[in-house]
Amino acid sequence: MGNERWSRRQFVSRAGKTVGGVVLGLSFADFLAACGASNAPAAGGGKLEIFSWWTAGGEADGLAEMFKIYKKNYAGVEIVNATVAGGAGTNAKAVLKTRMEGGKPPDSFQVHAGQELISTWVKAGKMEPITDVWKSENWDKTIPKDLKDIVSSNGDVWSVPVNVHRGNALWYNKKLLDDNSITPPTTMDEFLSALGKLKSKVPAPLALGSQGNWQVQMLLENNILAAGGPDFYKQVFSGKASFTDANVKQALAWIKSMLSYVNSDHPTLGWDDADKRLINGTSAFNIMGDWAKGYFTAANWVPNKDFGAAPSPGTTGKYVIVCDTFGLPKGAPNRANAINWIKVCGSQEGQAAFNPKKGSIPARTDVPASIFDPIAQQFIAEFKTDALVPSSAHGSATPDAFASGVNDEMGQFVINKDVNKTASNLQKLSDEFLK
């Protein structure tokens, strides 16, 4: 019938138009998206895309310094600074996963030394080893072996450490300690007695910001180091010793004691809010990595005058490493440029430019200490002789799944304060993820 034929033709043409429109629309949108993301190689040196979560403050400044050095040595390369803010790197890591899995890796990306790289990306076969670069740049001479071990696996080196932060540091408000005739404590007993002494003077002698719970995991690993020493530490975090060992229980018991001196609103505070308490004088101590130093100096506090630093109680002679590194992803779009970047990261010049701004100390031992503030100088000296151990809370010693499970468990411990139950739960996590 006339109508039927008409409608069939019409249907086909309409269907065709619709499908065409949809495809066109999606392709256009895809094109728009692609414009935002990928880049056509420029003439001359090509590009270099560096992915990190260093978006603000000293970190961003330090990164900019390294970019300057790169441009000086390798002219003609366009540097793309791909940063993702927020969540202390959790957002960045999520975006990185997207890119790596989608086959669009950056040329290099910031990653914590050790398991964060090895158990995630090396195990998945997405990284190229940089052992040759390590040899050609002679880093065995300038980067400590303990550190090299952390970034190695199966005989190959996978990333170059740029900086070293210290995880086991005790920060204190100097005035409060001086006014109360307290010397910076070295052992846990001294620390707890100092806290007791200050309880009547200050609302919460020990400041804690536990949002996310990784700060409490830092307390755990520092205390395990204090109770069991570096060898036990390494064994327990690689699944070779048990978390139900007396050393771990002691570590937990110490945390429990500390908790009675802590500010009650800690679950909603970040580590920087806790340090704010020191500045306000409402707390005297905070146990935190040495990025706290950056917070204090940004608030115009002077090192060793307004605030001081000591190893976390019981950990003198030991150094918990929190370390940022850069590696070489397989399929990096500008491989040669990426390798040059790795060389800059491991160079004396690069580390000397980066670290003072970042607030960390160099991974290399041959950077002159004079360019650093007094506390950093103190740490540099200790780094050379201390026993170095990787941090679990910051992705070095243990894979992500384990560390985040520990965060959950420590969040519970803060509430239930049950040493035995927590120890056995930690062991369950170890059984599942560290074996």
Partner 1 sequence: MATATAPPVVVERLPGGRSLTPLSWDGVMPILMIAPSVILIAVFVYGFIGRTAFTSLTAWRGVVPDYTFVGLRNYERLFQTEKFQADIVNTIHFTAFFLAGCLILGLGAAVLLDQKLRGSILFQNIFMFPLAISFIVTGTVWRWIFNPNYGLNVLFHNLHLDFLQSGWLTSPNTALNSLTIAAVWQMSGFCMAMFLAGLRGIPEELREAARVDGASEFQAFRYVVFPLLRPITLSAVIILGHISLKIFDLVFVMTFGGPGYSTDMPGLNMFITTFRQDLFARGAAIATVLLLMVALLIVPYLVWTLRGETER
Partner 2 sequence: MSVLVAAPRPATRWRPSTVVAYVLLIALAVFYLLPMFAIVATSLKSFTEVSRSTLWELPKAPTLEAFGSAFDVLAPSFFNSVLLVVPATVLSALLGSLNGYVLSKWKFRGANVIFALLLFGMFIPYQSILIPLFQFLSTVGLYGGIPGLILVHVVYGIPICTLIFRNYFATVPRELLEAARMDGASVLGIFRHIMLPISIPGFVVVMIWQFTSIWNEFLFAVTIAQDPTQRPITVALQNLAGSLLSQYQVQMAGALLAAAPTLLVYILLGRYFVRGLLAGSLKG
Question: Between residues 211 and 297, which has the closer beta carbon with respect to partner 2?
Answer: 211
Per DSSP, helices labelled H in 238-290 are: 246-259, 271-280
Nearer residue to partner 2 within complex by CB, 1 or 43: 1
Q: How far is the CB of 408 from partner 1 (least distance, A)?
A: 6
Number of residues that bind partner 1 (CB under 8 A): 33
CB of 279 to partner 1, least distance (A): 17
Minimum Å distance from CB 212 to partner 2?
10
- The CA–CA distances, whole Å, from 162 to 31, 322, 394 equal 37, 11, 15
Select the residue interacting with partner 1 from 265, 304, 348, 368 (CB under 8 A). Answer: 265
CA-atom Rg of the chain in angstroms = 25
Shortest spacing between CB 297 and partner 1, in angstroms: 27
* 140 lines the binding site for partner 1 (CB under 8 A): no
- 431 touching partner 1, by CB under 8 A: no
Interaction partner, residue 415 (partner 2, partner 1, none; CB < 5-8 Å by kind): partner 1
Select from partner 1, partner 2, none the partner in contact with residue 273, using the beta carbon and a kind-dependent cut-off of 5 to 8 Å.
Answer: partner 2
Q: Render the burial of 223-249: b for 16+ CB within 10 Å, e for the rest.
A: bbbbbbbbebbbebbebebbbebebbb
Beta carbon of residue 302, minimum distance to partner 2 (angstroms, whole number): 24
Q: Give whole-number Cα distances, 168 to 71, 215, 221, 289, in Å.
A: 36, 11, 9, 6
Taking the complex as a whole, the smallest distance from the CB of residue 276 to partner 2 amounts, in Å, to: 9
User: What φ, ψ does residue 184 adopt, rounded to 5°?
Assistant: -55, 120
Minimum Å distance from CB 95 to partner 2?
Answer: 5
Q: Write down the least CB distance from residue 156 to partner 1, Å.
A: 19
Binding residues for partner 2, rule: CB under 8 A, are: 1, 3-4, 7, 10-11, 18, 22, 25-26, 29-30, 32-33, 36-37, 84-87, 91, 94-95, 98-99, 101-102, 211, 270, 273
Looking at the Cβ atoms of 45 and 399, the one nearer to partner 1 is: 399
Among 4, 44, 141, 385, binds partner 1 (CB under 8 A): 4
> What are the structure tokens assigned to 432, written together?
């599942």
Residue 107 Cβ, how far from partner 2 at the closest point, in Å? 17
CA distance 209 to 187: 23
Amino acid at 406: V
Residue 395 CA: distances (Å) to CA of 139, 278, 408? 23, 28, 15
- Interface with partner 1, residue 190, by CB under 8 A: no
Residue whose tokens read 């580590």:
271
**Residues of span 79-118 touching partner 1 by CB under 8 A:** 90, 94, 97, 100-101
**Minimal distance, residue 333 CB to partner 2, in Å:** 16
Query: In terms of CB distance, is 15 or 56 closer to partner 1?
Result: 15
Nearest to partner 2 of 12, 381 (CB atom): 12
* Burial grade of 284 (CB within 10 A; 0-12, 13-18, 19 or more): buried
Spacing of C-alpha 319 from chain mean position: 15
Q: Measure the CA–CA gap between 292 and 298, rounded to whole angstroms.
A: 10
Task: Say if residues 389 and 234 touch (Cβ distance below 8 Å).
Answer: yes
Q: How far apart are CA 13 and CA 111, in angstroms?
A: 53
- Residues numbered 191 to 230 that lie near partner 1 (CB under 8 A) are 211, 213
Q: Give CA 31 to chain center in angstroms.
A: 35
Q: Does 420 bind partner 1 (CB under 8 A)?
A: no
Region of 294 (left: φ > 0; alpha: ψ -120 to 50; beta: rest) is alpha
Give the footprint of partner 1 on residues 367-406 (CB under 8 A): 400-401, 404-405
Contacts of 255 (CB under 8 A, 6+ apart): 216, 219, 220, 223, 413
- Minimum CB distance to partner 2 smaller for 20 or for 374: 20
Q: How many CB atoms lie within 10 A of CB 382?
A: 16
Q: Which is nearer to partner 2, 54 or 139 (CB)?
A: 54
Interface contacts to partner 1, rule CB under 8 A: 4, 7-8, 90, 94, 97, 100-101, 119-121, 123-126, 211, 213, 264-265, 267-268, 400-401, 404-405, 408, 411-412, 414-416, 425, 432
